[in-house]
Structure 1
Amino acid sequence: MTLKRKQSESEEKPSETNGTLSINDEDLSIKKKRKITLMNGVGLIIGTIIGSGIFVSPTGVFRSTGSVGASILIWCLSGVFSTLGALCYAELGTSITRSGGDYAYIYTAFGPLAGFLRLWVAILIIRPTTQTIVALTFAQYAVKPFFPDCEPPEDACRLLAAVCLCLLTAINCLSSRWSMRIQDIFTIAKLLALVGVILIGLYYLIWLEKVEHFENAWDGEYNPASIALAFYSGLFAFGGWNYLNFVTGELKDPYTNLPRAIWIAMPMVTIVYVLANIAYFIVLSKGEILSSPAVAVSFGNITIPEVSWLIPIFVALSCFGGVNGVIFTSGHLFRTGAQDGHLPDIFSFLHVQKKTPIPSLIFSCVTSLAMLLVSDVFILINYFSQILWFSVAACIAGMLWLRYKEPDMPRPIKVNIFIPVTFLMCCAFLIIFPIPTYPWNTIIGVIIVLSGIPVYYLFIKNATSGSYAIYSETITRFLQKMISVTYSADDEEEPRDK
């Protein structure tokens, strides 16, 4: 398959009369500008990582270990683990500069089928459920101050989550710059909220000398399987450390700014997370943490009861910024998949004036809205914890394979071999040890991934001609004219075999 390319001067320029949108007299395509600065990149990493996780996940980590000391250690190691992964992704992102993140790297290293399976899982579950879960969390905390003595109505939360998804999708469609400004603003709000939690914890520790919760800090019941599950909760809160790689194509000077953004953002998030958890343990007892659906809310009810309603608002703002980051990167992921022919061509197009991937963003929003109809959407993501880490491990394995297969590939950043090897060993621990305890999670995840194989051979590899292609082209031309989109001049021009 050959991707859409820029027409040469000898080719006839299409116009409205033949069914394809004409942009100007010189060129059918548009040029996508690099708009993401270093600080935007830092804001995107921090803003995407800090969502609901740090306000909710401490309960999950502590429930799996039962130990204050082990919980804090797991938070530290989760930060180190995520930083090692981010450094490996810095090498991948500067040697494979396409947007698309995991999908682009797996495609390059292992071929189109492997890349499609990663995209298949992302489209089917990972992206829509992630966006929907964070949007629902935003809605639940946004309406919580209006229902202080009871749970908010489920329908009201779903409606507000839908409004959140549609609003942020519209903003991302209108302007990438507006999206980055929202990300920067809400990142600052998140950090201020967590700094407030840390300062309150220090007050209780230094002035009130509250240290009794750290007695026998290492007592607990934990084993390799429970530790792996504790890491799932901790790493969920760090989720998003690789999201800047999904938009490398829009990052200014990616060779310099990608690693800089990682080195600035990851230590900052790790330090803030560890200190916030210490603050939680200073104030809350073991029983209060285990019985709390949201540790930050319980923390606020004890320390600042007069204005405890501020905590749900800050959690809501944090989730709002998190949804924005996921939507922004999802649009670019689906666009990259369409450039490779793994999604309809329309998803690779940009708006003529806004230069934003509107078709991909709308598709991402629609799939997330559909997930709002599923009552157990929070359970779905659990089936994919192992698959998620398997795909990350596949990216790092692909990086090592490319070092062997293509040693002359330009690598502006090349990490020490110790880092990816250590990271792969940690991924193996996360993937393997929970299997005996939760075998069905693994089985269901593998079944859904493998279901993409017949889809690939039926609709992707062998669907280059015939009525399917004719209908696809007709729909593409219709949508081009309806929403004023066309392909970008910086789309790849070299052929890719499916």
Structure 2
Amino acid sequence: MARVEIGDKLVPKAGFDGPDRLMAGVESGKALNASNSDSSSEGGFRLKKELGLLDGVAIIVGVIVGAGIFVSPKGVLLYSGSIGQSIIVWILCGLLSMVGALCYAELGTMIPKSGGDYAYIGVAFGPLPAFLYLWVALLVLVPTGNAITALTFAQYLLQPFRPSCEAPVESVQLLAAVITCVLTAINCYNVKWVTRVTDVFTGTKILALLVIVAAGAWYLLSGNTELWADPMQGSLKSPGFIALAFYNGLFSYSGWNYLNFVTEELKDPFRNLPRAICISMPVVTIIYVVTNVAYFSVLSTEEILASEAVAITFGKKMLGFMAWIMPLFVACSTFGSLNGGIFASSRLFFVGARNGHLPAAISLINVNCLTPIPSLIFLCILSLVLLFINDVYVLINYISYVEALFTLMSISGLLWLRYKQPKTERPIRVNLILPVIFLITCSFLVISSCLQSPVEVAVGTAIILTGIPVYYTTIHRPIGWLTRMSQSINLWCSKFFLCMPNQEKEN
């Protein structure tokens, strides 16, 4: 029985893995050519290190700055009660995300594997908690996020063509499906193409925000300061409301840990991972704060809370006949975010399959493109299914708590590994106070969500718990017919997609 070592624990892999990897390697080996020889090793193929520092910064900024800052800053305002407290929440959310990102930089350089939270939870706490994170990510977190981003892209791309009414649901879903498939194809073909798309659309969304900031600054400097007369009026001081305001702010910052999903493809990760974080997070925080200042200078609290898309309302008021560019900018922003999300999250499933927690076919690498094509196609299928669920947005209410819980577990893992493995090399070692601050804050958010939204918390917990019987029937004590089916699928995928198994050694 094949086994993989996660931390100091051996995990049986027969449930979804086994000798089929060797069979796939033999079948696919005929397709090898000399141009790929530098990417192979005695154990098989590896993902190519193609991402530099600028690419890392673009991925983080590109994934974080999605539709949120254009569409719904009103969530923070709703639970803050005042524009002054909203600005404070945006700043603190940026600082907290920076602290979390630095903690993940220590984890990412100590455990230089792709997979992010999945890899860190596995090393710290063993295979079952790691699988539960993978299970929730597979079932809800990743495909839901990608589906909602694709739907948002389609809605705002179609809006200029139907300014007086909403586009038909079928048109939005079809366009979202097409763009999901196109970006999946780009990700399958070439990592360099992915980074170029990310770089271009990151620049586009920064340009869009600069337009908003410039218009807001011009309006404010023209003497229109009445909305800032009493910025703290109406502030809500209840801990529950503060927690919900932070949840909405942190949701807009989500994605700061995505570079950790692709550590193995980052050039010189010990230097470039922390550098990319230290450059991108202050940039995002400054962008978010000045953009909100622009919004609050032009739009009243009532106008923001009544708006379905704040940037669109802002554009109609400030840009006149050029207001049509705002929906286009939102579409470009979501396009870049979807591209980065597909790239990073597909590596999560790739690593999970490599560790025997998903069918081994998902860990195969194409011999020509050196990309995990089966993982990308698997993720595309999951996202397409969710695109055609009419109430997919309802799932957002259940995933915030789950994300916060597993982030809390990852940071707890950092502290546990400090105690359990004090002599392990840590190229980056953050001050102990940073993970403690982040741990306390995450704990406050998780506990507050239990009090404020018990139904959502119960559903999220139930989704997590459904992974336990799946783990024991497919991983711990696998059912024979599932193993045979996995081997057959693995062999078919290796032939059809011209792939070889990834035999990266797990430490």
Structure 1 residues 227, 488: closer, same or farther in 2, change over 3 A? Answer: same
Alignment-mate amino acid for residue 327 of structure 1:
I
1:248 pairs with 2:263: yes
Please say if residues 348 and 487 of structure 1, whose CA atoms lie closer than 8 Å, have aligned partners that are also in contact.
yes
Q: Which of 207, 214, 218 does residue 203 from structure 1 map onto?
A: 218
Structure 1 residues 279, 409: closer, same or farther in 2, change over 3 A? Answer: same
Deviation (angstroms), 1:434: 2.7
Residue in 2 aligned with 1:481? 495
Alignment-mate amino acid for residue 405 of structure 1:
K
SS at match of 2:452: coil
SS at match of 2:436: helix
* Separation in 2, partners of 1:354, 1:34: 13
What are the superposed Cα offsets for residues 211-269 of structure 1, whole Å, 9 maximum, x if unpaired?
A: 11112211225221111111121111111100000000100000000010011100001
Percent sequence identity is: 48
Please say if residues 24 and 501 of structure 2, whose CA atoms lie closer than 8 Å, have aligned partners that are also in contact.
no
Residue in 2 aligned with 1:469? 483
Please say if residues 28 and 499 of structure 2, whose CA atoms lie closer than 8 Å, have aligned partners that are also in contact.
no
SS at match of 1:434: helix
1:492 pairs with 2:492: no
* Separation in 2, partners of 1:241, 1:250: 17
SS at match of 2:441: helix
Q: Which moved more, 1:254-263 or 1:214-223?
A: 214-223
SS at match of 2:45: coil
Residue in 1 aligned with 2:350? 335
Structure 1 residues 310, 66: closer, same or farther in 2, change over 3 A? Answer: same
1:105 pairs with 2:139: no
Please say if residues 194 and 339 of structure 2, whose CA atoms lie closer than 8 Å, have aligned partners that are also in contact.
yes
Q: Which moved more, 1:243-252 or 1:63-72?
A: 63-72
Q: Which moved more, 1:413-422 or 1:218-227?
A: 218-227
Alignment-mate amino acid for residue 260 of structure 1:
R
* Separation in 1, partners of 2:336, 2:437: 32
Q: Which of 165, 174, 193 does residue 178 from structure 1 map onto?
A: 193
Please say if residues 4 and 355 of structure 2, whose CA atoms lie closer than 8 Å, have aligned partners that are also in contact.
no
Q: Which of 229, 239, 247 does residue 224 from structure 1 map onto?
A: 239
* Separation in 2, partners of 1:294, 1:232: 19
Alignment-mate amino acid for residue 86 of structure 2:
S
What are the superposed Cα offsets for residues 352-397 of structure 1, whole Å, 9 maximum, x if unpaired?
A: 1000000000011100000012111111021121110110011000
* Separation in 2, partners of 1:20, 1:134: 35
Please say if residues 361 and 486 of structure 2, whose CA atoms lie closer than 8 Å, have aligned partners that are also in contact.
no
Scaled by the length of structure 1, the TM-score of the pair is 0.94
Deviation (angstroms), 1:467: 3.2
Q: Which of 413, 420, 425 does residue 398 from structure 1 map onto?
A: 413
Residue in 1 aligned with 2:178? 163
* Separation in 2, partners of 1:472, 1:269: 43
Deviation (angstroms), 1:3: 5.5
Residue in 2 aligned with 1:2? 2
Residue in 2 aligned with 1:384? 399
Structure 1 residues 221, 73: closer, same or farther in 2, change over 3 A? Answer: closer
1:39 pairs with 2:54: yes
Structure 1 residues 68, 17: closer, same or farther in 2, change over 3 A? Answer: closer
Structure 1 residues 434, 37: closer, same or farther in 2, change over 3 A? Answer: same
Residue in 1 aligned with 2:455? 440
Q: Which of 419, 423, 429 does residue 414 from structure 1 map onto?
A: 429
* Separation in 1, partners of 2:345, 2:371: 12
Structure 1 residues 147, 348: closer, same or farther in 2, change over 3 A? Answer: same
Residue in 1 aligned with 2:252? 237
Deviation (angstroms), 1:478: 1.4
1:127 pairs with 2:142: yes
Residue in 2 aligned with 1:8? none
Alignment-mate amino acid for residue 498 of structure 2:
S
* Separation in 2, partners of 1:210, 1:53: 26
What are the superposed Cα offsets for residues 414-441 of structure 1, whole Å, 9 maximum, x if unpaired?
A: 0000000000111012111132221101
Please say if residues 143 and 382 of structure 2, whose CA atoms lie closer than 8 Å, have aligned partners that are also in contact.
yes
Please say if residues 109 and 402 of structure 1, whose CA atoms lie closer than 8 Å, have aligned partners that are also in contact.
yes
Alignment-mate amino acid for residue 492 of structure 1:
K
Alignment-mate amino acid for residue 457 of structure 2:
T
SS at match of 1:350: strand
Q: Which of 244, 257, 264 does residue 279 from structure 2 map onto?
A: 264
